[in-house]
Amino acid sequence: MAFEKKELSEKFIQWLWNNQFLNLPLATTTGVRIEILSPGIPNQEDGPDFKHAIIKFDNRLTQGDVEVHRLSNDWNLHHHEIDPKYNNVLLHVVWKYNSQDILTQSGRILPTLELLKFSKKSISKLLKDYNEKLHLEGKERCPYVSFKTLTDILEAQGINRFNERKQKFKKLIKIYEMEQAIYIGIMESLGYAKNKAPFVELARLAPISKLRYLSLRNPRDKRVEIIKISLLGVADLLSEEFQREWGKIKKEFKKTMRKELWQFFKVRPPGFPEKRIEGISYFLKDVIDKGFSDFLSSHNMEEIENRIAQGGISKFCARTTILNVCLPVLAILYEGSADEQEVLQIYRNYKRLPENSRTRKMSKILCWNKKMAIRNKRNNCEIYYQGMIHIFHHYCHTKQCTDCPIKKEQLDIL
């Protein structure tokens, strides 16, 4: 088993399960015969790895989810036993079984399939096939790319993505009014993909108006602590140290959250929800008097970035928040004026952020290499990468190549 630690990644085991490279018949670790009618659909969101699997257990037909791990005790290491999103899992698929009974959050014992016992090919052959697949995927290229028009297309799509954000905030403003809409946007930005929904829920249950009310009743040097205790208390993430203070203000909030709603798996410690909440409390204290609108319209981007990046909030997180929240909101505040064009110009020239999985994938597909990016200074701006993300969501991810502006531009040239 020399391969286990270094090469048997969870992605590899997911690939093995999805392609069903298994010798039949199959049985769980307790000896229950199973038949896989469908391995399920790979899940791109939070939750189990495969959705809508169809499996027979001793001729009993079931439909639900499948979770894949390298080792069976990873289930508890990843805290799935307290996460209700995994209550619909039918089967725990692992390479090697090394633990006792696995339980869902609802208390159900989960059957386990150990792939090691049913692998159709040798592990070395499987790894070779898998690595060849990755190599071929890495060579994926869009056949319609024209380098003469690519930068113009990406810039236009980057503007489309910016306008989509404006429309999103306009809808939020209609529902919540301006201050709460901005607050929701900032909190959502803190959560990234893993904790986006819980942060929005926290903003709803602990609205900015309530934080302002509680904060202004206290001296300035106590306001950060009051905001922090309020948010962590509502989020059910408050340490024992502040429980007494929380008891004094808990009645101000109608409802609180459950700790298990927060995701910690594959989240780096600086991104843990309680760290983000503690950090953003400093920025909220700074804007609590005048409000977000006045603050954003009276400060430049560097000042806003420095105010957000307090209490452990990283510069990257601050810059992402400016891009996704502050600039679209300012464009709405200045809509129809010359200042709106100035905001748009800031967006056009915004220095690029670190790559993520989507921009890395799209850079390969579009052959957007470092030479392309530095051909002139403008090509290294974030707007082009925002354009990539827009194309990914609207065309690549949904396989809508026919409607993609890259293909349309190529057809126009021809």
Divide the 414 residues of the chain into consecutive groups of 10 and give the mean pLDDT of each group. 57 90 92 92 84 90 94 93 94 92 93 92 83 62 79 94 96 96 97 90 97 94 96 96 94 94 84 95 94 94 96 95 97 95 96 88 79 55 94 84 81 48
> For 88-138, what is each residue's pLDDT tens digit?
999 999 999 998 889 999 999 999 999 999 988 888 888 887 776 665 555
pLDDT for 3: 41
pLDDT for 399: 74
DSSP character string of 330-392? HHHHTTTSHHHHHHHHHHHTPBPPPP-HHHHHHHHHTT--HHHHTSSGGGGBHHHHHHHHHHI
Nearest to 321 by CA among 268, 283, 270: 283
- DSSP E strands in 172-259: the ranges are none
Please check whether residue 25 is in contact with residue 86, taking contact to mean a CB–CB distance below 8 angstroms. Answer: no
Between CA 126 and CA 281 the distance in angstroms is 50
Is 119 buried (19+), middle (13-18) or exposed (0-12) by CB count in 10 A?
middle
Q: Rounded to the nearest 5 degrees, what angle is found at the Cα of 296, between the Cα atoms of 317 and 158?
A: 60
Q: Rounded to the nearest 5 degrees, what angle is found at the Cα of 390, between the Cα atoms of 388 and 391?
A: 65
Cα dihedral across residues 338, 343, 344, 349: positive or negative: positive
> For 344-390, what is each residue's pLDDT tens digit?
999 999 999 988 888 888 888 888 865 555 454 556 799 999 999 99
End-to-end CA distance of the chain: 56
Is 88 buried (19+), middle (13-18) or exposed (0-12) by CB count in 10 A?
middle
Q: Which helix (H) or strand (E) holds 317?
A: helix 315-321
